[in-house]
């Protein structure tokens, strides 16, 4: 900005030139900006662009830019007066820069919309707002949620690090006011057909879901969609809702609203096993529910669910299958198999296991979705000893893994792995690194989840495919290969596209199963087959 020092040594090479445009009006601000712009051109020592007003002509004289041509100007005439080095530039260059600048400015528009600086002014600036999505740092979140609830707005609280005391207080307030307070640490909801945070694009329909887990809820909605049905509302509660301290306040609130919702014909509840007192409250409501209720308390008490007149499930996929069958008035049973015929599954297993050497005996399950990892642990833990950061029993904690050898299943989204970096559903880097550090010549089978949808990385399948390519290349040097099993939690409506993601994985020889449960079950069979020897 501004003009360079006018030294006599430089002035020797400079020529004073003027360009006049008659009856061409521009406002003074535009012309000031233009002067500044032209000043930066190569070979320009000093320049003034202005209308021929007395003030501007005085200014031209003061700057030593006046020529006799300027004397005859009227305030309706535009002039460009400049000291230029004619070996480097010309007035024609200045004039075309002048025109370019004016044209460029006409095309540019302002950038973003106005952003109010506080919740209260946002409420003022958007009449009819009904939902507040909070993902600011946890220490500040409770105060904002409080304000939102006071203003009668529903809340989805994505932030974590909110105390149990705050959660309880806020949920009590929400219940009192008949509002949703989904969270803290709630990542998935679909309200009125609109996915919030981490959720998949699924069709609308008659099945309502209340979920205390993010990817668990995603998997159920995706499976419902795949089976041709749709979702009315998907309500999140946050992972602590069904603990003793919170008492399931939001699960109950959501459950009751779905019972009252004319668009919902069937209700699915998803959570890790609740505290007994909380489970009891939910069973009481289920008993009187006029609508069928399907419950997946992942690995929970089957008999208690049945006693409440609700339908228990053995997996997230099973929950979706049962919900759809009941909705359609069809008979249902636990789904323990595969979409493909068993013989075909066996053939694939034989083919895959044939690739392995006798010392390739271990599982590496690398999950980005927490509930999907949970489900894997529950299903695999029946037949195998699995070390994990979410172990089924304390002695199976990953820290206790003897000399690095054994089956491993990790939830890479857990705090320990995400410190200082994005969640692996958003940024695949964490899992890419675990592929490098945790897969070796003893690995026989790798199991992964690929979660699509809003909020997720734009190409999670591509990231896995790349890791698989690298690992096969590395193992090939030892004359080895590896079995890779995956499921894709997503639909063809997701921006990442289910079918494209499957193709990407299959192109790298990944066995893609249609659900997390089937992928885990397939892995289980592979492990059992491997025990028999290759």
**Which residues, 56 to 85, sit near another protein by CB under 8 A?**
58-59, 62-63
Least Å distance between CB 136 and another protein? 4
Q: What does the alpha-carbon distance between residue 501 and residue 496 come to, in Å, rounded to a whole number?
A: 7
Question: For residue 269, what is the enclosing H or E element?
Answer: strand 266-271
Q: What does the alpha-carbon distance between residue 170 and residue 97 come to, in Å, rounded to a whole number?
A: 60
What the block records as the tokens of 367 is: 């999950």
The CA-based angle 370-200-246, given to 5 degrees, is 50
Least Å distance between CB 413 and another protein? 16
In this complex, which beta carbon is closest to another protein, that of residue 46 or of residue 296? 46
Find out whether 140 and 163 touch, Cβ atoms under 8 Å.
no
Among 73, 84, 97, 132, binds another protein (CB under 8 A): 132
Residue tagged 């980005």 (tokens)? 368
Query: Is 119 a binder of another protein (CB under 8 A)?
Result: yes
Find out whether 294 and 266 touch, Cβ atoms under 8 Å.
yes
Query: Is 159 a binder of another protein (CB under 8 A)?
Result: yes
Query: Is 214 a binder of another protein (CB under 8 A)?
Result: no
Binding mask 232-261 for another protein (x = CB under 8 A): xx-------------------xx--x--xx
Question: For residue 75, what is the enclosing H or E element?
Answer: none
Least Å distance between CB 225 and another protein? 16
Binding footprint of another protein, residue count (CB under 8 A):
74
Residue 444 DSSP SS3: strand
Among 197, 446, 502, 519, binds another protein (CB under 8 A): 197
**Which residues, 26 to 55, sit near another protein by CB under 8 A?**
27, 29-30, 32-33, 35-36, 39, 46-49, 55
In this complex, which beta carbon is closest to another protein, that of residue 284 or of residue 495? 495
Residue 23 DSSP SS3: coil
How many H helices and E strands in the chain? 19, 19
Binding mask 417-456 for another protein (x = CB under 8 A): -------------------------------------xx-
Least Å distance between CB 134 and another protein? 5
What the block records as the tokens of 73 is: 């100007």
In this complex, which beta carbon is closest to another protein, that of residue 152 or of residue 404? 152
Least Å distance between CB 447 and another protein? 28
Least Å distance between CB 37 and another protein? 11
Least Å distance between CB 191 and another protein? 6
Question: For residue 312, what is the enclosing H or E element?
Answer: strand 311-312
Q: Quick one: DSSP state of residue 487?
A: E
Q: What does the alpha-carbon distance between residue 323 and residue 310 come to, in Å, rounded to a whole number?
A: 11
Only segment of 8-16, 154-162, 296-304, 474-482 that touches another protein (CB under 8 A): 154-162
Among 123, 304, 398, 401, binds another protein (CB under 8 A): 123
In this complex, which beta carbon is closest to another protein, that of residue 58 or of residue 100? 58
Query: Is 172 a binder of another protein (CB under 8 A)?
Result: no
Query: Is 161 a binder of another protein (CB under 8 A)?
Result: no
Among 122, 168, 227, 275, binds another protein (CB under 8 A): 122
CB atoms within 10 A of CB 270: 28
In this complex, which beta carbon is closest to another protein, that of residue 155 or of residue 461? 155
Going by their DSSP bridges, the two strands 194-197 and 188-191 should be labelled as: antiparallel
Find out whether 397 and 328 touch, Cβ atoms under 8 Å.
no
In this complex, which beta carbon is closest to another protein, that of residue 140 or of residue 306? 140
Query: Is 136 a binder of another protein (CB under 8 A)?
Result: yes
Outline where DSSP puts E strands in 41-197: 44-51, 78-85, 131-134, 154-157, 181-182, 188-191, 194-197
Residue tagged 């939690």 (tokens)? 489
Query: Is 332 a binder of another protein (CB under 8 A)?
Result: no
The CA-based angle 263-294-495, given to 5 degrees, is 65
């Amino acid at each position: 900005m501004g003009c360079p020092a006018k030294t006599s040594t430089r002035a020797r090479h400079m020529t004073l030139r003027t360009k006049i445009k008659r009856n061409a009006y521009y406002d003074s601000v535009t012309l000031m900006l233009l002067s500044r712009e032209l000043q930066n051109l190569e070979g320009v020592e000093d320049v003034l662009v202005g209308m021929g007003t007395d003030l501007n002509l005085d200014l031209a004289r003061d700057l030593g830019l006046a020529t006799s041509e300027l004397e005859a100007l009227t305030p309706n005439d535009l002039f460009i007066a400049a000291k230029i080095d004619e070996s480097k530039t010309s007035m024609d260059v200045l004039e075309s820069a002048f025109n370019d600048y004016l044209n460029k400015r006409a095309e540019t528009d302002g950038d973003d919309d106005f952003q109010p600086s506080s919740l209260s002014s946002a409420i003022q600036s958007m009449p009819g707002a009904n939902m507040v999505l909070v993902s600011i740092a946890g220490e500040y979140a409770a105060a904002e949620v409080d304000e939102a609830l006071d203003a009668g707005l529903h809340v989805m609280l994505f932030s974590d690090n909110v105390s149990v005391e705050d959660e309880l207080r806020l949920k009590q307030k929400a219940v009192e006011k008949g509002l949703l307070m989904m969270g803290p640490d709630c990542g998935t909801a679909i309200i009125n057909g609109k996915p919030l945070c981490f959720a998949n694009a699924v069709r609308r329909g008659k099945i309502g879901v209340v979920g205390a887990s993010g990817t668990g809820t995603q998997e159920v909605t995706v499976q419902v969609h795949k089976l041709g049905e749709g979702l009315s509302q998907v309500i999140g509660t946050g992972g602590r809702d069904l603990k003793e301290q919170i008492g399931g306040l939001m699960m109950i609130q959501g459950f009751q609203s779905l019972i009252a919702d004319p668009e919902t014909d069937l209700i699915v509840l998803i959570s890790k096993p609740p505290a007994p007192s909380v489970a009891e409250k939910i069973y009481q409501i289920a008993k009187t529910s006029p609508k069928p209720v399907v419950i997946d308390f992942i690995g929970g008490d089957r008999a208690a669910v049945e006693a409440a007149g609700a339908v228990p499930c053995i997996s997230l996929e099973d929950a979706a299958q049962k919900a759809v069958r009941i909705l359609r008035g069809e008979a249902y049973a636990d789904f323990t198999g595969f979409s493909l015929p068993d013989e075909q599954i066996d053939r694939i297993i034989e083919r895959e296991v044939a690739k392995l050497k006798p010392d390739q005996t271990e599982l590496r399950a690398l999950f980005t979705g927490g509930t999907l990892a949970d489900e894997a642990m529950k299903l695999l833990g029946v037949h195998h000893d699995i070390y994990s950061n979410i172990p089924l029993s304390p002695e199976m904690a990953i820290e206790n893994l003897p000399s690095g050898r054994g089956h491993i299943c990790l939830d890479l989204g857990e705090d320990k792995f995400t410190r200082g970096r994005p969640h692996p559903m958003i940024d695949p880097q964490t899992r890419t690194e675990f592929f490098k550090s945790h897969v070796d010549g003893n690995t026989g089978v790798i199991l992964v989840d690929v979660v699509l949808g809003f909020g997720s990385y734009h190409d999670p399948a591509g990231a896995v495919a790349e890791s698989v390519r690298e690992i096969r290349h590395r193992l090939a040097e030892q004359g080895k290969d590896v079995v890779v099993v995956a499921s894709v939690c997503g639909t063809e409506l997701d921006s990442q596209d289910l079918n494209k993601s499957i193709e990407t994985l299959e192109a790298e020889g990944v066995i893609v199963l249609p659900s997390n449960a089937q992928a885990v079950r397939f892995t289980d069979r592979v492990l059992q087959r491997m025990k028999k020897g290759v």
